[in-house]
Amino acid sequence: MDIGYRIKQLRTKNNLTLEELASRCELTKGFLSQLERNLTSPSIATLQDIVEALGTTLAKFFQEETEEKLVFTDDDYFVDEREECTIHWIVPNAQKNEMEPILLELPTQGQSHEVAVHEGEEFGYVLSGRIKLVNLDTGKAYIVKKGQTFYVKGSFSHCLKNDSAQPARVLWICTPPIF
């Protein structure tokens, strides 16, 4: 770990000048400048004082920041093959995020699970085939073809069905996660 860089990073994040941090730690501006440039090393006690002045702890100071994964490949997907459909969980652990995307494959006569009323919204894009978006409360069905989208508020129970002779694939995104 680059201690000098980490100190400078926290100092600038807290909008402190070298002088202000030096005053809070009872150190000299020159010593802190040397620390930030890795020209000297602090004692544990001095480092403790610096990180406290920066509003953190030694444990958090040394905790490595993990870079959030932004790109996912086939290797990251989890596939759940069911009798009436196949669900590809295309973002791992998406339940912790604000939205949850899945790739849904519906064979001929296939059907998704029933989505109950919920506090959220859903978006779907039909990649191939044709599906029916069925309002389970009223029985009304809406045909959605390849290249078309649907947008649903969670105010009614619904599911997707494939009554056509061709398999269908749908990118289906929900917020908050419910799949």
How confident is the model over 126-138, as pLDDT tens digits? 999 999 999 999 9
pLDDT of res. 138? 96
The verdict on residue 67 lying in a domain is no
pLDDT of res. 1? 81
The verdict on residue 151 lying in a domain is yes
Residues 24-49 have a mean pLDDT of 94
16: containing domain: 3-62
Contact 41, 3 (CB under 8 A): yes
Q: Which residue has the higher pLDDT, 66 or 24?
A: 24
Quick check: 119 pLDDT over 80?
yes
Residues 85-106 have a mean pLDDT of 90
Give residue-wise pLDDT tens across range 55-89: 999 999 988 767 778 898 988 899 999 989 999 99
pLDDT of res. 97? 85
For residues 44 and 83, membership in a common domain is answered with: no
In whole angstroms, what is the distance from residue 73 CA to residue 102 CA?
13
For residues 87 and 155, membership in a common domain is answered with: yes
> How long a stretch of residues is the chain?
179
Domain end residue (candidates: 38, 62, 86): 62
Residues 27-36 have a mean pLDDT of 94
The verdict on residue 15 lying in a domain is yes
Name the pairing type of β-strands 158-161 and 86-89: unpaired
Contacts 24+ apart (CB under 8 A), 142-151: 149/123, 149/124, 149/125, 150/122, 150/123, 150/124, 151/121, 151/122, 151/123, 151/124
Phi and psi of 122, rounded to 5°?
-135, 150
Q: How many domains does the chain have?
A: 2
Residues 6-15 have a mean pLDDT of 93
Nearest Cα residue to 50 out of 65, 63, 33: 33
Residues with Cβ within 8 Å of 153's Cβ and at least 6 positions away in sequence, in order, are: 120, 121
Percentage helix, strand, coil, to 5, in the chain?
Answer: 25, 30, 45
For residues 142 and 121, membership in a common domain is answered with: yes
